[in-house]
Structure 1
Amino acid sequence: MTLRERMKKGPVFGITCFTGAACAVETIGNYGYDFVYLDLEHCTLDGPNNMEKLIMAAKLSGIPAVVRVTGTDEVEIRKVLEMGAEGVVVPHTRTAGDVKEILKGAKFPPMGRRGGESCVRSANYGGPGFSWAEYTQKSNEDTLVIPMDEDFEFTDNLDEILDVPGIDAVNFGPIDYSLSIGAKVGYATEDARVADAYTKLAKGCAKRGIGVMCPVVPATKESIEAAIKRGITMLILGNDMYHLSTALKTMKQQAIDPYRAEQE
């Protein structure tokens, strides 16, 4: 089932992979999450081959992958889609022109200007029964375009951006949004200006049938329910490094530290 199909059934839940480890991607998939969020913006990856390995790990474990690329470069966008990613997340989208550039690289004509090649994974390497018409049509239907709202300029240009046809969801980034306006940094939208920006985004997306992606950390039943009530339809429940760090901290505080205290 594609991520787009999963999204039609209701909210979807994903985990970000910052380690660049294929085993982490497979483990996320093994536990039945709806998507894995792979990162090229902040992670140190050993060239495109490692991203391909992560996407292949996602496919092996049956979990759709979206990739946060570094910008609107159409070649980079095309490459991760050809590797088998089901969507692209693009950071620091600030104008409608930025969104049009994303669509240019992500969608085949007439929706965009994505370059074509059949000898790639997304086209099944031009294997048995390959059809250019079917391939380009299905790619346009299934590929998700997710710009990021993480700068005050996005709010300034909100309606103009959301009116560009082809946006499937918007990823709200509270940390960078806070940085852009000089607010307190954190996942919680404590600053009224950040909260207002999110509210405007959620209302604009709901009006147009566009999804909203946002981090929900820490992920508890209560925080998940609250996020969904706020209009978040794609929930990012932390990342592999966060969960590893949390588990190590908990084990040290609950097991090692008490043991050492008893020995003193």
Structure 2
Amino acid sequence: MLDSSALRQKLQANEVVFGINVYSGAPAAVEIAGQKGLDFVFIDAEHTVLGLDSPMERMILAARLAGTAPLVRVPDSGAVGLRKALELGAAGVIVPQVHTAEQMRRIIAATKFPPLGRRGGDSSVRSAGYGGPGFDWSSYTEQANRETLIIPMAESFEFFEEIDDILDVPGIDAVHFGPADYALSRGIEVDYAMNHSVVRMAMRELVSKCRPRGIKVMLPCFPAESTKVQELMSEGGDMLLLGNDLGFLHQGCANAASIALSTRRQA
């Protein structure tokens, strides 16, 4: 069973951590990721059929059972969704389309209990251990404020126009750089490998601004190869995403189809 502080402890020790994106909504994907020793799973509720409901709950429980930290990308920066993801048991939230410092302040207000924010509370939820005899509000809120990971996404030119003001908002643990949406916002070719000079410059600016503030940087590693891992680590990446479950399914099915085609030709 996952120790909810394990991922944070690794990051505080300046260890590089590794995970995968999960789009399928299949609990087996997060269980396998945990069984294989990955540090976290990036469970997507922005671009998938998953909501912040019972299917998501099963994803989070599967991750915790397998010992990998469930980070949930919520659909948007609305306060209700942020709170529900955390109450379901997410180790942290990844927040898409963050553009301004004021928006970032609202995100912190929604995810941190007073005095750090204005998150609403209820003891009858997973994150509070469902309350009951011996439940202590002070211990619960202090632990949640200390251990919950808040990860906005830098994926637009607007983010970079306000980058200093956004990163100065207290409570940010890491920032995920989204090269696809960033490229789209700039009207340039999408390049997950981040080789395009404009995309690479933005990634480097993000790292340079985060590092002195003690904020970690999450980057997609494409292609998911050791040489690319070394490259992104040298660039300052702290949390690396090594592919996604649908990509792995594509690879497996392509391999199966190749074997089938070869066999048919020989028959």
Interval of TM-score (by shorter of Structure 1 and Structure 2): over 0.9
Q: Partner of 2:263 in structure 1?
A: 259
**Which residue in the other structure is 1:91 paired with?**
96
Contact 2:41 2:68 in 1 (8 A): yes
**Are 2:135 and 1:130 equivalent residues in the alignment?**
yes
Residue 49 in structure 1 maps to residue 58 in structure 2: no
Asked whether 1:5 is paired with 2:9, we answer yes
The amino acid of 1:34's aligned partner reads D
- TM-score with structure 2 length normalisation? 0.95
The CA RMSD over aligned residues, in Å, is 1.3
* 1:14-93 to 2 correspondences below 5 Å: 14-45=19-50, 48-93=53-98
Give how far 1:47 is off: 5.9
Aligned partner of 1:230: which letter? E
Which residue identity lines up with residue 237 of structure 1 in the other structure? L
Count of aligned positions: 262
3-state SS of 2:72 partner: strand
What percentage of residue pairs aligned between the two structures are identical? Answer: 46
Match of 2:109 among 104, 109, 117: 104
Q: CA deviation at 1:186?
A: 2.2
- Distance between the aligned counterparts of 2:231 and 2:256, measured in 1? 28
Report the secondary structure of 1:125's partner residue.
Answer: coil
For residue 130 of structure 1, report the CA deviation from its aligned partner.
1.8
Shift of 1:162: 0.8
TM-score (structure 1 length as normaliser)? 0.96
Cα distance in 1 between the residues matched to 2:147 and 2:52: 26
**How much does 1:191 deviate?**
2.3
CA contact (8 A) 1:41 1:69 kept: yes
Equivalent position to 2:213, from 208, 211, 225? 208
Conserved 8 A contact 1:14-1:35:
yes
Residues 5 and 128 (structure 1 numbering): CA distance in 2 closer, same or farther, change over 3 Å? farther
Look up the SS of the partner of 2:130 in the other structure: helix
Equivalent in 246, 249, 263 of residue 251 of structure 2: 246
Corresponding residue for residue 235 of structure 1 = 240
Distance in 2 (alpha carbons) for counterparts of 1:185 and 1:262 = 40
Which residue of structure 1 aligns with residue 224 of structure 2? 219
Give the stretch that moved more between structures: 187-196 or 92-101: 187-196
Kept in 2: contact 1:150–1:172 (CA 8 A): yes
In the alignment, residue 212 of structure 2 is paired with which amino acid?
A: K
Separation in 1 of the partners of 2:88 and 2:51? Answer: 16
Contact 1:6–1:34 (CA under 8 A) maintained in structure 2: no
1:138-161 superposed Cα distances (whole Å, 9 cap, x missing partner): 000001110000001111111111
Shift of 1:46: 6.1
Runs of 4+ residues deviating >4 angstroms: none
Check 1:47–1:125 CA distance in 2 against 1; reply closer, same or farther (3 A cut).
Answer: closer
2:115 match: secondary structure: coil
Q: CA deviation at 1:61?
A: 1.1
- What amino acid does structure 2 have at the position aligned with 1:4? R
Letter in 1 for 2:151: I
Q: Secondary structure at the match of 1:126?
A: coil
- Structure 1 gap segments, 5+ residues each: none
Q: Which amino acid in structure 2 is aligned with residue 225 of structure 1?
A: Q
Contact 1:99 1:161 in 2 (8 A): yes
